[in-house]
């Protein structure tokens, strides 16, 4: 492992890999990534991996529009596929969340996102397994679809490596030295690295990394439980990603079975195996919305973590009082689909001293001062 680098990236999840690649693309090629386990060992490798334009706030929509365009040109840039499969998405809306969801529709349409409103009768006609009795309407986004996180991470890694990025897997960062208000080195289990820039892309561990330099980074880690059923032919391959907005669970086709995702329990450590104890909660939601699906056996599953900031915006950019420390964390469940813009913004700031693709003022850690 190198003992000096222009930039050290802590974390080889999708945001860390993207930041390293985009830095190298801009000409900052003396970049070292340190990863305590292996590439994608955290939340990036434990996701349902969707590319969505039907997201929830203006900044998310703008990030998605930028990233969507980059993913549509991904093969030209990387000679690799993000495995995008356009299935569409369908959000099921009950009276309890109808006002909120209608407001979101208005924002999406204002920003040019194709968004259709379906009546409960239209939903039932297309997808008869869905219980529509308590629905007010549905929201259909024709451009949403699945992407493959592992393929994307590998593309970032390979492209970055060709440009000079060094990836060290199994090298745990253990501390950061700051002198005179400036980052000077990163300590790892494989030795120290002298550097003037550190990118905190540590996902669920971002708060711990911040603490090394005296920062409080308010990351709320939430468990996400994903289960995959046995083969279930009644749900066709072209079924969209279906999100029950009131109960906050989702499903989509996964091979011959169905992938079901739910869960917001707080945690300090990510469970490493499927959480069977949470399954009854999931079954209750499934039985109400798609009763036939609740009778299918579970073939496999996994858990992951959504590292969320208090306002559910990512934390991007520099921090007050410590030159050379840059955050890229708090991405929640959107780090994969927003990896093109996340990496671009970090690289622009380090290379140019400011961002040009999007302003990052609203994403700085300083917005949480006093909390």
- Number of Cβ atoms within 10 Å of the Cβ of 196: 16
Percentage of the chain beyond pLDDT 70 is: 97
Three-class secondary structure of residue 351 per DSSP? helix
pLDDT digits (tens, 9 = 90+) for 63-119: 999 999 999 999 999 999 999 999 999 999 999 999 999 999 999 999 999 999 999
pLDDT at 48: 83
For residues 145-165, average pLDDT: 97
Q: Does the structure show a pLDDT above 90 at 122?
A: yes
Rounded to the nearest 5 degrees, what angle is found at the Cα of 19, between the Cα atoms of 220 and 111? Answer: 75
pLDDT at 272: 58
Q: How confident is the model at residue 305 (pLDDT cuts 50, 70, 90)?
A: confident
Choice between 222 and 82, residue whose per-residue pLDDT is larger: 82
Alpha-carbon distance values, 216 to 81, 198, 371 (Å):
38, 16, 9
pLDDT at 29: 96
pLDDT at 24: 98
pLDDT at 247: 96
The region of weakest confidence among 83-92, 137-146, 151-160, 293-302 is 293-302
Structure tokens at 88: 């569409």
pLDDT at 267: 66
Distance CA 319, CA 328 (A): 11
For residues 175-180, average pLDDT: 98
Look up tokens 């991904």; give the residue: 74
Arithmetic mean of pLDDT over the chain: 95
- Please give the domain boundaries of the chain with CATH numbers for all domains: 7-47+149-219+311-368 (3.50.50.60), 89-142+220-308 (3.30.9.10)
Closest CA to 262 of 301, 232, 307, 218: 301
For residues 174-185, average pLDDT: 98
pLDDT at 47: 83
Distance CA 3, CA 77 (A): 31
- As a whole number of angstroms, the longest Cα–Cα distance in the chain is 66
pLDDT digits (tens, 9 = 90+) for 225-277: 999 999 999 999 999 999 999 999 999 999 999 999 998 666 656 555 788 88
Distance CA 33, CA 78 (A): 20
Provide the whole-model pTM: 0.96
Q: Does the structure show a pLDDT above 90 at 341?
A: yes
pLDDT at 263: 80
pLDDT at 148: 96
pLDDT at 128: 97
For residues 6-30, average pLDDT: 98
Distance CA 211, CA 361 (A): 22
In this structure, the strands spanning 220-229 and 298-308 are antiparallel
Percentage of the chain beyond pLDDT 90 is: 89
pLDDT at 285: 97
pLDDT at 270: 56
Distance CA 229, CA 178 (A): 50
Q: Does the structure show a pLDDT above 90 at 130?
A: yes
Q: Does the structure show a pLDDT above 60 at 169?
A: yes
pLDDT digits (tens, 9 = 90+) for 23-66: 999 999 999 999 999 999 988 988 888 999 999 999 999 999 99
List the beta bridge partners of residue 138.
92, 118
């Amino acid at each position: 492992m190198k003992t000096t680098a222009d930039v050290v990236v802590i974390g080889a999840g999708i945001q860390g890999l993207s930041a390293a690649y985009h830095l190298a693309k801009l000409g900052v090629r003396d970049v070292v990534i340190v990863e305590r386990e292996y590439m994608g060992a955290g939340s990036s490798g434990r996701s349902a991996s969707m590319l969505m334009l039907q997201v929830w706030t203006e900044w998310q929509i703008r990030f998605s529009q930028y990233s969507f365009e980059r993913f549509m040109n991904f093969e030209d840039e990387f000679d690799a596929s993000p495995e995008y499969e356009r299935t569409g998405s369908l959000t099921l809306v009950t009276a309890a969340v109808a006002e909120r969801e209608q407001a979101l529709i208005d924002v999406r349409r204002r920003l040019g996102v194709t968004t259709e409103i379906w009546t409960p009768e239209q939903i039932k006609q297309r997808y008869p397994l869905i219980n529509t009795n308590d629905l007010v309407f549905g929201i259909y986004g024709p451009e949403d679809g699945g992407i493959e996180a592992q393929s994307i991470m590998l593309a970032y890694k390979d492209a970055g490596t060709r440009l000079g990025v060094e990836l060290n897997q199994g090298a745990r960062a253990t501390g950061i030295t700051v002198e005179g208000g400036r980052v000077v080195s990163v300590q790892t289990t494989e030795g120290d690295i002298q550097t003037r820039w550190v990118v905190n892309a540590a996902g669920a561990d971002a708060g711990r990394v911040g603490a090394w330099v005296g920062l409080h980074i308010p990351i709320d880690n939430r468990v996400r439980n994903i289960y995959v059923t046995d083969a279930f032919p009644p749900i066709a391959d072209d079924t969209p990603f279906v999100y029950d907005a009131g109960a906050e669970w989702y499903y989509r086709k996964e091979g011959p079975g169905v992938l079901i995702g739910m869960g917001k329990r707080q945690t300090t450590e990510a469970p490493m195996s499927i959480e069977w104890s949470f399954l009854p909660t999931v079954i209750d939601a499934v039985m109400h919305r798609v009763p036939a699906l609740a009778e299918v056996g579970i073939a496999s599953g996994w858990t992951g973590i959504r590292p969320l900031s208090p306002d559910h915006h990512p934390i991007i950019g520099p921090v007050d009082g410590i030159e050379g420390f840059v955050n890229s964390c708090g991405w929640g469940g959107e780090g994969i689909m927003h990896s093109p813009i996340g990496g671009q913004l970090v690289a622009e700031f380090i290379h140019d001293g400011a961002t040009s693709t999007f302003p990052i003022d609203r994403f700085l850690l300083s917005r949480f001062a006093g909390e």
